[in-house]
């Protein structure tokens, strides 16, 4: 037998392992930057209405990321992008999803939102199965179940304040975010990772532009109650550029490597990252959340598909990244 097939298989295994390592590293970076925004949001929501914080966050992120995108990729590529589709994906998925998660945190607390976000792997897997980009293997199904259990353990140390409409907002937000992340990574193969992330954030900003005057017309509070000081501006900059812009960039890149279902496993570790950040700010270590995070990490390893697939197959990573 010729040695060529063996070499090709070795390269396929190596490429697959490298993609998995890169994708998981990007997902960890995304969750770290996303989790770091929870303490800032908790402080800002004390004086900022959710609609005002949502609009300010989206506007600041877009004002910074669009010029960087134009500078790095060139104005021609920016102008040729699928803006109509980006407005739909970004407006419905990113914009509406981010607004609803702020409403959920305002009505409940970060712990409740994190608990409900534990359903993200299940929602993402259903989306990939419906799109035909994933075949449900027993290892992945087992890893998904363990990931959800680990997420629930990680967030069980503190009882949620309340459920009701806040929980509904969190569920809808999670579903919209999973769908938008899959569509962003899949539907713009001609764009760089920076372009994919930025163009849908612009769509999300359009949602804010529509919601802000509508909320004001209906009599809702749309401006922060006290004057915005330097401390609040600093938290807003961090919340917009790192916890949104940089986190979304990392997550979309991770989805391109792993698929949205496997990348979403990492969402269940976010409460552990929040705990570590809060511990740095003076809170105590919580072994329950540490155990939950370890279980989720085990689930991520278990669910990895290390076997190379034929080029003709519709693997999740290939389909999501637009290579098919």
Measured CA to CA, the distance from residue 242 to residue 138 in angstroms comes to 36
DSSP annotation string for 88-139: HIIIIIIIHHHHHHHHHHHHS-HHHHHHHHTTHHHHHHHHHHHHT-----HH
Measured CA to CA, the distance from residue 265 to residue 174 in angstroms comes to 13
pLDDT of residue 75: 95
pLDDT digits (tens, 9 = 90+) for 303-314: 765 443 333 333
36 and 277 in contact (C-beta within 8 Å)? yes
pLDDT digits (tens, 9 = 90+) for 100-151: 988 888 887 776 676 677 778 888 888 888 888 777 788 778 877 887 787 7
pLDDT digits (tens, 9 = 90+) for 192-201: 999 999 999 9
pLDDT of residue 159: 53
Average pLDDT of 32-38? 88
For tokens 């040729």, what's the residue?
Answer: 80
Among 247-251, 285-289, 308-312, where is mean pLDDT lowest?
308-312
Q: At what angle do helices 37-44 and 230-240 cross, to 10 degrees?
A: 140
pLDDT of residue 317: 39
- With a cut of 90, say whether residue 89 has pLDDT above it: yes
Task: Give the confidence band of 218 by pLDDT, cuts at 50, 70, 90.
Answer: confident
- Please, which residues have CB within 8 angstroms of residue 20's CB and are 6 or more apart in sequence? 257, 258, 304, 306
Measured CA to CA, the distance from residue 179 to residue 128 in angstroms comes to 9
- Could you tell me the pTM of the whole model? 0.78
pLDDT of residue 319: 39
- Please, which residues have CB within 8 angstroms of residue 137's CB and are 6 or more apart in sequence? 305
Tokens representing 8 are 């090709």
Mean of the per-residue pLDDT values for the chain? 81
Task: Give the confidence band of 79 by pLDDT, cuts at 50, 70, 90.
Answer: very high
Measured CA to CA, the distance from residue 231 to residue 253 in angstroms comes to 32
- Please, which residues have CB within 8 angstroms of residue 130's CB and are 6 or more apart in sequence? none
């Amino acid at each position: 037998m010729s040695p060529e097939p063996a070499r090709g298989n070795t390269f396929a295994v190596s490429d697959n392992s490298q993609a998995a390592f890169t994708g998981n590293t990007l997902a960890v970076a995304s969750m770290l930057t996303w989790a770091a925004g929870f303490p800032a949001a908790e402080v800002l929501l004390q004086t900022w209405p959710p609609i005002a914080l949502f609009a300010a966050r989206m506007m600041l992120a877009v004002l910074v990321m669009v010029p960087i995108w134009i500078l790095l990729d060139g104005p021609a590529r920016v102008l040729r992008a699928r803006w109509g589709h980006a407005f739909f994906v970004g407006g419905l998925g990113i914009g509406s999803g981010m607004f609803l998660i702020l409403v959920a945190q305002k009505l409940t607390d970060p712990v409740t939102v994190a608990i409900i976000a534990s359903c993200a792997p299940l929602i993402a897997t259903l989306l990939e199965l419906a799109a035909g980009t994933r075949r449900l293997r027993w290892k992945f199904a087992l890893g998904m179940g363990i990931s959800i259990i680990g997420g629930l353990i990680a967030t069980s140390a503190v009882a949620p304040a309340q459920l009701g409409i806040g929980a509904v907002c969190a569920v809808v937000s999670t579903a919209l975010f999973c769908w938008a992340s899959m569509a962003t990574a899949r539907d713009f193969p001609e764009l760089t990772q920076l372009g994919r992330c930025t163009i849908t954030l612009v769509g999300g900003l359009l949602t804010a532009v529509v919601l802000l005057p509508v909320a004001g017309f209906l009599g809702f509070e749309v401006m922060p109650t006290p004057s915005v000081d330097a401390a609040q501006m600093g938290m807003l900059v961090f919340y917009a550029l790192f916890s949104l812009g940089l986190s979304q960039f990392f997550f979309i890149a991770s989805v391109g490597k792993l698929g949205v279902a496997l990348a979403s496993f990492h969402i269940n570790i976010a409460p552990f990252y929040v705990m570590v950040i809060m511990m740095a700010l003076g809170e105590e270590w919580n072994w329950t959340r540490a155990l939950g995070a370890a279980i989720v990490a085990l689930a991520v390893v278990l669910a990895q598909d290390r076997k190379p697939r034929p080029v003709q197959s519709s693997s999740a990573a290939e389909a999501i990244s637009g290579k098919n």
